[in-house]
Amino acid sequence: MGTSPSADRFAIPDDHLRFMALQASLLAADALTEPAMRSDSRANALTRAYGLVMALRGPAHSLGFAEFRTLVRGPVAGLLPPGCPPEGLEAIYAINPKTGERNVELEALEGEFGEVARECGVLPYWPWLRQELTEHKAYALFRKGGNQAAYILRRSFVIRNAAGTQAMLQMMPKELNDLYGRVPEDRVYDRRCFLCPLCRWPMQVLPNGPIVTVSCANRDHRDRGARYLFDDDGLDRAPRLVRTRDVRDRLLAPAASDAIVHEAARVLMVDPACWRSHVIPGLLETALHDELSSRGVQVELWPEMDRYDLRVIVAGRQPRVWKIDVKDVLSVDALINRLDRKNADGTGLHLVVPDRLSSDVPLLRRRLSSTGWKVRTASQLAREVCRAQGVPWR
């Protein structure tokens, strides 16, 4: 972990500088792309973003306001001071240079880089504290009573029901009531909300005249078909959503089916921090559990109340055990740095990533091998287990 030359005077670690750049990008992107934002709110957001950038760059590398506004439309790494390694930010844009739309992954990326920055020991920052409170609140509710079976039931319920009608959610464990709230207005169109068929969480709504785009906030889900269009014909009826692309079904990564349409007033949802920290990674955890269990493999979810994510056992004269930690991330660089900063010991553990990150597996193996991690994609791990069980994976 380094400290950039321009920030030496203030002893700001590079991890924190990268997070500050993402935070500034998020503020500026909202201000520059949200047409409904009031002019005073827009000016305030841009001023706050500019102040963050001036602070992270230091007096030796200050920017004029016009130059700052130009840089915000380029890679996030452009906001960093010279000498600060970008660690993946050179490929991240806050505003899509082709469409002019805000990058919907910014909050998730901010969270991933923020987790790395928190390991620096820098003083607490309010957005981190708020996210940590949400995460800890969920974990506390899952763990209530100290019963493993109840823990699995509660956590699985949230993962499989990120949102639902109040009638549907009546069956949920009563301890989870506090995790659910109303659907915000920016995810509602004409009294309706649209749940992603993959994560069952209200999708984002972007009107452009009579044509309305509806898409999941998760990039992988959009790539798997959770992006739709409909034409607002002005009639008081549920719209007909059309997928913008057809995607082939794959094990552990099914294609999106039709969006789920509900009256928004009847729907409750978990908040974004719970969705990012529990629902999204939990979908791959439960998919691995379900697929391997259906093939006769013994699989345990979150053993010892989440000591790790999955324990897979193939019985026999010489039983084999896989202890699995699933990491569904946007930034592999942030994941590597977070594990490094935490001095996370992976001895005896398999680190499993989604198949879409298969090209990053060699990098992960190279960077994490010294700490004992065995890196696999989800499908690689599943094939390995099924081969040992003597059953086909496909």
Among candidates 36, 37, 6, 34, which has minimal Cα distance to 21?
6
Report the 10 Å Cβ neighbour count for 2. Answer: 12
From 113, 131, 149, give the residue that closes a domain: 131
Boundaries of domain holding 362: 295-389
Task: Give me the residue label for tokens 């909050």.
Answer: 107
Q: How far apart are CA 383 and CA 329, in angstroms?
A: 22
- Looking at the 3D structure of the chain, how many domains does it have? 3
In this structure, the answer to whether residues 347 and 264 fall within a common structural domain is no
Strands 211-215 and 204-208: antiparallel
Decide if 252 is inside a domain.
Answer: yes
Residues whose CB falls within 8 Å of the CB of residue 268, separated by 6 or more in sequence, listed in order: 163, 164, 165, 166, 169, 180, 181, 182, 183
Task: For the beta carbon of residue 231, count every other beta carbon within 10 angstroms.
Answer: 12
- The residue ranking higher by pLDDT, 286 or 175, is 286
User: Count of CB atoms within 10 A of residue 201's CB?
Assistant: 24
Dump strand ranges (E) for the chain: 163-165, 180-182, 192-195, 204-208, 211-215, 227-231, 242-243, 260-263, 267-270, 298-301, 310-314, 320-326, 349-353, 374-377
- For residue 120, which phi and psi values (nearest 5 degrees)? -75, -20
pTM score: 0.79
**One domain, residues 306 and 364:** yes
Report, as an integer, the average pLDDT of 346-367. Answer: 93
In contact, 241 and 228? CB cutoff 8 Å: yes
Write out pLDDT tens, residues 259-312: 999 999 999 999 988 999 899 999 999 999 999 999 999 999 999 999 999 999
Indicate if 173 and 246 belong to the same structural domain: yes
204 and 102 within one domain: no
Q: Does position 394 have pLDDT exceeding 90, yes or no? A: no
What is the rounded CA–CA span in Å between residue 211 and residue 205? 11
Asked if residue 24 and residue 105 are part of one domain, the reply reads yes
Contact 105, 95 (CB under 8 A): no
Do 86 and 15 have their domain in common? yes
* Average of per-residue pLDDT across 329-350: 86
Residue appearing with tokens 């960077």: 367
Residue with tokens 């841009």: 46
Domain identity same for 108 and 175: no
**For residues 181 and 201, is the Cβ–Cβ distance under 8 A?**
no
**With 60 as the cut, is the pLDDT of residue 129 above it?**
no
Residues 10, 114 within the same domain = yes
Greater confidence (311 vs 9) lies with: 311
235 or 320: which leads in pLDDT: 320
Question: Token pair of 368, please?
Answer: 């994490």
Question: Considering the domain boundaries, does residue 313 fall inside one?
Answer: yes
* 112, 173: one domain: no
Whether 203 is in a domain gets the answer yes
Which of 207, 235, 270 is the last residue before a domain boundary? Answer: 270
Distance in angstroms (rounded) separating the CA atoms of residues 236 and 291? 41
113 with 25, same domain?
yes
Q: Which two tokens stand for residue 303?
A: 């053993």
pLDDT of residue 1: 55
CA dihedral 292, 293, 299, 300 (to 10 degrees): 120
In a domain, 279, yes or no: no
Query: What does the pLDDT average to over 318-331?
Result: 93
Q: Dump pLDDT digits (tens) for 208-241.
A: 888 999 999 998 999 999 999 999 887 778 898 9
pLDDT of residue 122: 56
Which positions ≥6 away from 309 have C-beta within 8 Å? 285, 301, 302, 324, 325, 326
Quick one: 266 and 300 in the same domain? Answer: no
Q: Are strands 320-326 and 349-353 parallel, antiparallel or unpaired?
A: parallel
Residue 170 sits in the same domain as residue 217: yes
Closest CA to 217 of 314, 107, 118: 107
Instruction: With respect to residue 40, please indicate whether it lies within any of the assigned structural domains.
Output: yes
Q: How far apart are CA 239 and CA 63, in angstroms?
A: 47
Residue 351: inside a domain, yes or no? Answer: yes
- Residue 58 in any domain: the answer is yes
CB 118 within 8 A of CB 128: yes
- Distance from C-alpha of 13 to C-alpha of 257, rounded to nearest angstrom: 44
Query: Lowest-pLDDT range, 81-85, 130-134, 328-332?
Result: 130-134
Flag whether pLDDT at 98 surpasses 50: yes
Residue 30 lies in a domain: yes
One-letter amino acid at 368 equals: L
